[in-house]
Amino acid sequence: MATIDYSSVKPQKPWRLDSKQLAINGAVFLLAVLLTPLFLNLTPLNGKLGASFIFVVLATIGNTVLSIVRQGFKTISTSIAASLIYLATALVLLPLASVLFTVASKGFTAVKLNTFTQDMRITNPDAPFTEGGALHAILGTFEIVLIATIICVPLGVLTALYLTEIKGRFENLVRFLVQAMSGVPSIVAGLFIYTVLIVTLGVNYSGIAGAFALSILMLPTVARTSEEVLKLIPNDLREAGVALGATQWRTVAMVVVPAAKSGILTAVILGVSRVAGETAPLLLTILGNTTNNLNPFSGPIAALPLYTFSLMKTGLDVAISRAWGGALILLTLVLILFITARLLSGKKR
Amino acid sequence: MDTQPTKIAGRTQNQRGLPMSGSNPVKSLAAVASGARVANKFTPGSGLEANGVHAWFGKHHALADINLEFPANTVTALIGPSGCGKSTFLRTLNRMHEFIPGAAMAGEVLLDGRDIYEPGSDVTKIRLKIGMVFQKPNPFPSMTIGENVLSGLKLAQLKIENKDEILEECLTRAGLWKEVKDRLGAQGGSLSGGQQQRLCIARALAVSPEVLLMDEPCSALDPGSTLRIEETIRELADSIIVVIVTHNMQQAARVSDYTGFFLSDGGPGQLIEVATTNEIFSTPRDKRTEDYVTGRFG
Amino acid sequence: MTTTQTSYNGVVPKAREITTQPRFSDKVFRFVVTSGGFTSLIILSLIAIFLLQQGFPVLKDMGFGFITGFEWNPGDVDNGVPVQFGIGAMLIGTLLVSVIGLIIALPIAVGTALFLTYYAPDWIKKPLTITVDLMAAIPSVIYGLWGFFILMPHAVYWAKLLHNYLGFLPFFKMPADVFERSPFIAGIVVGIMIIPIITAISREVFSQVPLDRIQAAYALGATKWTMIRSVVLPFGSSGVAGGAMLGLGRAMGETIAIYLVLNIYFAPNFQVLFSAGGNVASLIVSKFGEAGEYELRGLMAAGLVLFIVTLLVNFLSNAIVKRTSRTGK
């Protein structure tokens, strides 16, 4: 039987709204927009937020009336629910957009070239932006986070290896503990390191103390993400290694871990982005500084979040603007890390 | 006798709104030829009809030009090898096909003369009239047996009057009443597989459908439950239209009045032949049908 | 002729014990990895031990009053002012602010998760998910900055409206007309901060609803919302509850953002629109700079209490989430 030519038959989607219905929807939407100012005057609300609120109410009513006309009264709950769900999503995006926009606009004016090349050693807090900079904070953050990474990567990967390769009797306990550790409040981590290093061991406020405090917060992220990544490595690889006569440690070190390389890198970047913006643990451990301190092992040191925080506490307008500048640098750093981690994890799929 | 009702490409003109069963030669044929049970509930104007139905998944053309009539008070079985579009076709009959991303269709499906795909039609009402029972029994585990049966009414936000009457009627029609009438408050998941499937049938019946679509309803069940459900299907046909997709040819032979054979030769699935069950299995007209029902391929 | 194959004459031999003697290098490997694996246990225990050891004198002196007392006074021994360290007001404040945050965050997070799973067109799902996850990456000091300078004026305006129209409700009353830096505002900020995590967990749970149940509901004539209400929400309720607990724990431990947005006051305040409240973490931050040795120990004890409470909340949330996956409801 010859194959019949069906090319003249066009696929359709009759369940979608047709143009007439879409036009009516659009008209109702427009009506809600136009009626908003009218209703706005009737209520004590004002400003953009008040207008948005009124608009949402009107649009919901319009949408609900449309559903009732089209499909009867029983669809009231369905269309109200749908409107509320759309509203919820908008409510999530609104503060995010506001935060990003504010940091960008307020911080942009405060960031000049000298922000990256100078520190605040000789600058008064109320000096204009063309003097002084955040170099000490940037360097400090870099040093502290680097040390924290050096501490956390081996420990985190080892923890993950314990959970995936050895699976000892304490597997569930360890997994639970890692989860518990991710819930430790940042201030408690700082307090703990303060207690151990600075009070008990007499170490001075220093970058290394801050790094230890950050490690407590970074370790669970690195361990958990590494575990996820290692679990994804198919068992065939391990079996191939063992079947060739390799010992377990060789299999792990030379087959499994290299296969998970990019995933572990993602885990590290995620951990870094988690702690780069932490303020509270650093408050208690590094004290902050106005000059560059290239030695993380001794002496107070600055860091971006702490820099931002202290400037804000001064209450001076110029200092607060400088704080926004610091916030912008910090946010940019965190966003770059976040996007990099996403790209890495997306690529390996 | 050449008044064969086989419908392949190019359908015979059908007048809408006129009682199909009365003028349909197939009906009387069925009553005589296969010795099937005689319908004792004649509902004028009722019936399901598919005209020129095509289905796509994105660019993939899955079904081509299906023309089928489902007269009132009959059971029609759809048979054919896996992957030839029988389930897809079933889902175009109650507008479940459109849930798949990228789904598209062409043609029309008429219930009592009205196209269910007409723009502006209320799809939830359509699904109330055309019910479906799935391959794997899926009663709602968070509800009791009684609540499961009534769940269709609740989901469609219909008023429930005479709760107990509805429960007894639907469970009896599904052949489950005697077994559960004393434990309507038990959890839906506490029944055996066969009982769960009959619960799903009762649930589908509670919204008073005109058609019941069944997608391989017994394939996950043991032979004992299967036989009981087949009994239920034969009894149901006294009041509604049943369309059943099945892999089991013996089941099709046992249960249905008409059988449609689907096949895909690498391209879209097509309806090769449809006739009374007796004819399909004993005197099929198309060679491919004959090869399939005699087991030369499957 | 016998054709049965009982070559073992029906006697089943006992299974042999298979033992492996790992090589020495593997023994070392196992030891190293196991020790690494136990770091979390070691660290958590050390935290508890050190904070307890440091804070013990204060706990002993204040007794149970440490938890229940409201006053925080380093005292002045020379002038006969007794030392009083009580974090009761701070604990109540922590709980109050976190609960407000949860009340704000939960509906928004669940709504967003439902939107992402069932309402959003395909092209928007991935970008929107990434955007919501992005919110979790923003450092808390930035939320604090934003909360103080941008959100506060608006929030004060809404607070005034709430007070004017709903002021008959006890918690909307005001002892004085100070609306800034109230638990209400702190609750909004912390709520925004925990939305991403509750959304992520809810989204996970909702995407695991078995497809056949959803299809059964639709086949019975359900609309999207009735389907969600009767299939998705019952299925996901424990998972969402676990996520909410996790968010609550996060909120209770939040430090900097609340420090910048809440005015610490040493008495419990349930009038959420009024500028007085507390939070154990902000207490530690605010007193740390000038604390003498004894007060420092008090702060350690406060940290210990906070540590134990957040640990308990996290443990609870874990248990709730585990229960979902076990019953698979």
CB-nearest to A88 from C43, C108, C303 is C108
Residue B6 pLDDT > 60: no
Same domain, C50 and C110: no
Interface of B with C (CB under 8 A): 94, 96, 99, 101, 124-125, 127-128, 131-132, 134, 136, 138, 140-142, 151-152, 154-157, 200, 203-204, 207
Query: Do residues A160 and A94 both lie within one domain?
Result: no
B10 interface with A at CB cutoff 8 Å: no
Nearest-angstrom CA–CA distance, B262 and A217: 61
Which chain C positions have a beta carbon within 8 Å of B151's beta carbon?
217, 220, 230
| Contact with chain A for residue B127, Cβ under 8 A | no
Residues A269-324: pLDDT tens digits? Answer: 989 988 998 998 998 888 877 777 777 777 888 889 998 998 888 888 888 888 99
Q: Which of B106, B119, B158 sits opposite A10 (nearest CB)?
A: B106
Size of interface B-C (CB pairs under 8 A): 65
SS3 B55: strand
Q: Which whole number is the average pLDDT over B79-104?
A: 89
> Could you say which of C58, C79, C100 is where a domain stops?
C79
CA distance A246 to chain B (A): 46
* Mean pLDDT on A85-104: 93
Are C31 and C159 members of one domain?
A: no
Lowest mean pLDDT among A2-11, A100-109, B106-115, B261-270: A2-11
Residue A211 resides in a domain = yes
Nearest chain C Cα distance for residue B229, angstroms: 19
C74 and C99 inside one domain:
no
A contacts of B156 (beta carbons < 8 Å): 74
Do residues C162 and C66 both lie within one domain? no
ipTM of the assembly?
A: 0.87
**Interchain contact, A78 vs C303, CB within 8 Å:** no
Cα nearest neighbour of C328 on chain B: B141
Q: How sure is the predictor about C11, in pLDDT bands with cuts at 50, 70 and 90? A: low
B150 in helix, strand or coil? helix
**What is the Cα–Cα distance from A129 to A255, expressed in whole angstroms?**
53
Beta bridge pairs of residue B75: B242
Band (pLDDT 50/70/90 cuts) for residue C293 is confident
C216 touches chain B (CB under 8 A): yes
Does C174 share its domain with C250? yes
Q: How many domains does chain C have?
A: 2
pLDDT-derived band at C328, boundaries 50, 70, 90: very low
Nearest 5°: the CA angle C219, C223, C228 is: 95
Based on the fold, state whether residues C51 and C175 are members of the same structural domain. no
Residue whose token pair is 């040493």? C266
Smallest Cα distance from A77 to chain B, Å? 10
- The answer to whether C231 contacts B140, with C-beta atoms less than 8 Å apart, is yes
Q: Residue C300 belongs to what domain range? A: 87-327
Share of chain C above pLDDT 70, in %: 91
Q: What CA–CA distance (Å, rounded) separates C218 from B99?
A: 10
Which of A74, A89, A282, A340 would you mutate first to test chain C, the one with the most C CBs within 10 A? A89
d(Cα A233, Cα B133) in Å, to the nearest integer?
A: 40
- With a cut of 60, say whether residue C287 has pLDDT above it: yes
A260 pLDDT band, cuts 50/70/90, is confident
Res. B260 pLDDT band, cuts 50 70 90: very high
Query: Residue C308: its pLDDT value, please?
Result: 92
- Name the band, by pLDDT with cuts 50, 70 and 90, for residue B1: very low
Task: Give the CATH number, domain containing residue A178.
Answer: 1.10.3720.10
Inter-chain touch A179–C314, beta carbons under 8 Å: yes
Strands B270-276, B258-263: pairing kind: antiparallel
CATH numeric code, B20-293 = 3.40.50.300
Task: Give me the pLDDT at residue C189, please.
Answer: 95
What pLDDT does A290 receive? Answer: 76
Contact C128 A89 (CB under 8 A): yes
pLDDT of residue C10: 62
C-alpha span between B250 and C322 (Å, rounded): 46
Taking CA–CA distances from A9, the nearest residue in chain B reads: B106
Subunits next to A (3 or more Cβ pairs <8 Å) are: B, C
CB C38 within 8 A of CB A166: no
Coil, helix or strand for A25?
Answer: helix
Minimum distance, in Å, between the CA of residue B157 and any CA atom of chain A: 6
Q: Is residue C8 part of a domain?
A: no
Interval C188-198: pLDDT, tens:
999 999 999 99
A74, A36 contact by CB (below 8 A): no
Residue C3 within a domain: no
We report the CATH number of the domain holding residue C119 as 1.10.3720.10
pLDDT at C139: 93
Tell me the one-letter amino acid at A36.
Answer: T
| pLDDT tier, B46 (very low <50, low <70, confident <90, very high otherwise) | low
A259 shares a domain with A312 = yes
A-proximal residues of B, 257-296, CB under 8 Å: 267-268
Residue A16 CA to residue B99 CA, distance in Å, equals: 11
Q: pLDDT by residue (tens digit) across C125-171?
A: 999 999 999 999 999 999 999 999 999 998 998 888 888 888 888 88
Inter-chain contact B156–C235, Cβ cutoff 8 Å? Answer: no
Q: Is the pLDDT of residue B64 over 80?
A: yes
Q: Where are the domains of chain B?
A: 20-293
Same domain assignment for residues C35 and C130: no
Evaluate whether residue C1 is within a structural domain: no
Same domain, residue pair A265 and A150: yes
Check whether B42 has a pLDDT greater than 70: no
Q: Please give the pLDDT value at position A97.
A: 93
Query: Residue B2: pLDDT above 50?
Result: no
Identify the domain containing residue A59 by its residue range: 19-107
- Residue B61 has its nearest CB partner, among A6, A72, A77, at A6
Is residue B23's pLDDT more than 70? no
Confidence class for position B43, pLDDT limits 50, 70, 90? very low
Q: Is residue A3 part of a domain?
A: no
A155's enclosing H/E stretch is helix A135-161
Of C11, C46, C79, which closes a domain?
A: C79
Is A5's pLDDT higher than 80? Answer: no
Asked if A163 and A225 sit in the same domain, the reply is: yes
A8 in a structural domain? no
Tell me, yes or no, whether C127 lies in a domain: yes
Per-residue model confidence (pLDDT) at position C116: 95
Summarize the confidence of residues A167-184 as an average pLDDT.
Answer: 85
pLDDT the model gives residue A348: 52
Mean pLDDT of chain A, nearest integer: 85
Q: pTM of this prediction?
A: 0.83
Number of domains in chain A: 2
The per-residue pLDDT for C147 is: 94
pLDDT, mean of residues B113-128: 86
Domain boundary among A107, A123, A157: A107
Chain B nearest CA to A80, separation (Å): 15
Contact A223, A182 (CB under 8 A): no
Query: Could you please report the per-residue DSSP string of A253-320?
Result: IIIIHHHTHHHHHHHHHHHHHHHHT--HHHHTTTB--SS----TTSS-B--HHHHHHHHHHH--HHHH
The C-alpha atoms of residue B245 and residue B249 are separated, in whole angstroms, by: 10
Residues A222 and A325 in one domain: yes
- A1 falls within a domain: no
Residue tagged 């050449």 (tokens): B2
Residue C14 lies in a domain: no
Mean pLDDT taken over chain B: 81
Residue A117 lies in a domain: no
Q: What is the mean pLDDT of residues C211-223?
A: 90
Instruction: Please check whether residue A199 is in contact with residue C54, taking contact to mean a CB–CB distance below 8 angstroms.
Output: yes
Residue C93 and residue C74 share a domain: no
Contact partners for chain B, using 3 or more CB pairs closer than 8 A, are A, C
Residue at a domain's end among A107, A126, A147: A107
The residues near B32 (Cβ < 8 Å, ≥ 6 apart) are none
Judge whether B78 and B260 are in contact, CB under 8 Å: yes
Average pLDDT over residues B80-97: 91
Residues C117 and C142 in one domain: yes
Q: What is the pLDDT of residues B26-38, one digit of tens each?
A: 333 333 333 333 3
Let me know if residue A123 belongs to a domain: no
Q: Tell me the pLDDT tens digit for each residue of C253-267.
A: 999 999 999 988 888
A110 shares contact with chain C (CB less than 8 Å): no
Q: Tell me if A121 is assigned to some domain.
A: no
- Judgement on whether residues A92 and A145 belong to the same structural domain of the protein: no
**Which of C141, C192, C204 is the best substitution to test chain A (most A C-beta atoms within 10 A)?**
C141
Closest CA to B241 of B150, B137, B111, B121: B111
